[in-house]
Amino acid sequence: MIDSPSTVIISLLSCFLIISTLTCFSVSRLEQKFEADELIDLYNPNALKDLRAKYNLKADKYSLELSQVARGANHKRFFGKVKLEAFCAIKERIGDVDDGGKYVCNPRAVRKDNCTLISLGLNNAISYDQQIQNVTGGHCRILGADKDPQNITIQEAYERINGQLFVGMIPNEISISSMLKKAERREVELLKIDIEGGEHEGLEPFIREYRVCQIFIEVHGTPSEHLKMLQTMAKYNFRIFNVEPNPYCSNCCEYSLIQDSCMDQYGVYPLVPIVPKFFLRGADHKRFFGKMKLEAFCAIKERIGDVDDGGKYVCNPRAVKKDNCTLISLGLNNAISYDQHIQNVTGGHCRILGADKDPQNITIQEAYERINGQLFVGMIPNEISISSMLKKAERREVELLKIDIEGGEHEGLEPFIREYRVCQIFIEVHGTPSEHLRMLQTMAKYNFRIFNVEPNPYCSNCCEYSLIQDSCMDQYGVYPLVPIVPKVEF
């Protein structure tokens, strides 16, 4: 039977409507998947710099919001607060269009010599594995693993794509490290993880030991478990470049991340880290102090004052400004070895302002006058403030600020560094680990970085920290490392 022209036209219109409906549905799904992305004007040469500037302004707000929603149970709200920390211009979906595919950054930039890919969680479905080998040229060795043996068809197909299969539950029965060792490989270009919760225990031991460029991971669990997993990867300098909630699993989300050292290779532009690297638990001071890392390198650290308790590590003190400079020393207790020593080392041309809750004895008063000093009496911050000292001395900024005021630092410091420029801070912090972290976060908020950490052997809940402000690093010859302390509370 031959269809009439009208029948053909109606059939074509019906097909067109069906295709249009499916296309609209697909676009809608894609818009949901890419809601963490930013629109980039490709014709604007400063677009990425502008984007990074925008993120810089809002980084603290983004981190705080992420930490706050992680305390709740609303997954959708949490996923919406996860922001991109790196921009990849060439993101390619590898594997199934729906559940199971992963967004890879510029996969054709994978190294050509002795490269390794890893795919964890197969379940007799290897479309990702086959496509990634096809896209990257097939020259990499791909290591696949699943808790169950794969069927014979998959085993044969895996062999054809230069693959090696492993069987066992990660991390209880096999580890990712053991797979790499057995395959006689040393590093990994692309690591895909979809192991239904095993990621929480299985990943960190591996990325602590081996170099990995990109991770594509489906995370399961509560928002706080998602944040903890992201923090684990952030600790090893991985940044998020794609976020995709799983539409079939309400507590699951796909994250794609790249390691800082691989960004040039894959043509990735770094934005601002949003996921805080610090995860605080417990009341073990010794463990907390041991986890504190340096954020700046000072080649010339000099101990000023007593060799034992009371001395402070100062960075390159001879680089102090020579004109109209000011030093502050809070907490004297009739012992001014630090004050005398710092004036001697810096040449004695700075004005030094000293303060204590009690009046100093006559000997100390006379000695302080001889070192171009000015004394103040009162408990900080209840009776006097650091700002009032500076105003009374008619000074505008501070080169070196020493603080040893037995707990008063928690309330007394922030109002001052919010208002005045300070180059270096040497501070003894008292309290619980969370109080230490809060104090360090306060200083991080004003761009101070730690260059020395010294637990006090005579006070189990006390630690001496030496920090320098970003704007003073060139003056004192300091090299910036990676910020570790998050600038917001969580």
pLDDT per residue as tens digits for the range 294-332: 999 999 999 999 877 678 999 999 999 988 999 999 999
Last residue of a domain, one of 226, 243, 270: 270
Same domain, yes or no: 379 and 256: no
Same domain, yes or no: 301 and 409: yes
Is residue 182 in some structural domain?
Answer: yes
Same domain, yes or no: 200 and 296: no
Same domain, yes or no: 255 and 340: no
Q: What is the mean pLDDT of residues 330-341?
A: 94
pLDDT given for residue 490 in this prediction: 45
SS3 255: strand
Domain span at residue 256 reads 34-270
Q: What is the mean pLDDT of residues 257-283?
A: 85
CA dist 435 and 67 (Å) reads: 17
Residue 1: Cβ-neighbour burial (10 angstroms; 0-12, 13-18, 19+)? exposed
Last residue of a domain, one of 270, 299, 314: 270
> Is residue 72 a contact partner of residue 222, using CB atoms and an 8 Å limit?
no
Same domain, yes or no: 177 and 315: no
Same domain, yes or no: 209 and 320: no
Phi/psi of residue 226, each to 5°?
Answer: -60, -45
pLDDT given for residue 458 in this prediction: 86
Is residue 12 in some structural domain?
Answer: no
CA dist 194 and 196 (Å) reads: 6
> Is residue 343 a contact partner of residue 372, using CB atoms and an 8 Å limit?
yes
* DSSP-derived pairing of the beta strands 238-245 and 252-259: antiparallel
pLDDT band per the 50, 70, 90 thresholds, residue 2: very low
Q: Is the pTM of this model over 0.75?
A: no
Is residue 9 in some structural domain?
Answer: no
Specify the CATH number for the domain of residue 197.
Answer: 3.40.50.150
Structural domain count, the chain: 2
Look over the chain and give the mean of its residue pLDDT values, rounded to a whole number: 87
Q: Range with the lowest mean pLDDT among 42-46, 166-170, 465-469?
A: 42-46
Give the helix ranges, DSSP H, for 105-254.
127-136, 152-160, 176-182, 199-202, 204-209, 223-235
Is residue 10 in some structural domain?
Answer: no
Residue 14 pLDDT greater than 60, yes or no: no
Same domain, yes or no: 88 and 180: yes
Is residue 21 in some structural domain?
Answer: no
pLDDT given for residue 365 in this prediction: 97
Q: Where are the beta strands (DSSP E) in 308-350?
A: 312-315, 326-330
Same domain, yes or no: 262 and 326: no
Last residue of a domain, one of 270, 294, 327: 270
Phi/psi of residue 386, each to 5°?
Answer: -65, -35
pLDDT band per the 50, 70, 90 thresholds, residue 176: very high
pLDDT tens-digit series, residues 356-387: 999 999 999 999 999 999 999 999 888 999 99
Q: What is the mean pLDDT of residues 207-223?
A: 95
pLDDT given for residue 171 in this prediction: 87
Residue 164 pLDDT greater than 80, yes or no: yes
Phi/psi of residue 369, each to 5°?
Answer: -65, -35
pLDDT given for residue 428 in this prediction: 93
- ∠ CA 386-388-389, nearest 5°, is 65
pLDDT given for residue 6 in this prediction: 52
Same domain, yes or no: 378 and 464: yes
CA dist 73 and 78 (Å) reads: 8
Same domain, yes or no: 225 and 305: no
**Which residues are registered as beta bridge partners of 376?**
355
pLDDT band per the 50, 70, 90 thresholds, residue 202: confident
Residue 271 pLDDT greater than 50, yes or no: yes
Same domain, yes or no: 235 and 297: no
pLDDT given for residue 30 in this prediction: 34
Is residue 338 in some structural domain?
Answer: yes
pLDDT tens-digit series, residues 19-35: 344 333 333 333 333 33
**Which residues are registered as beta bridge partners of 421?**
397
pLDDT tens-digit series, residues 386-417: 999 999 999 999 999 999 987 778 888 999 99
Q: What's the distance, Cα to Cα, between the start and end of the chain in Å?
A: 73
What the block records as the tokens of 475 is 């003056």
pLDDT band per the 50, 70, 90 thresholds, residue 41: low
Same domain, yes or no: 330 and 432: yes
Residue 144 pLDDT greater than 60, yes or no: yes
pLDDT tens-digit series, residues 216-257: 999 999 998 999 999 999 989 999 999 999 999 999 999 999
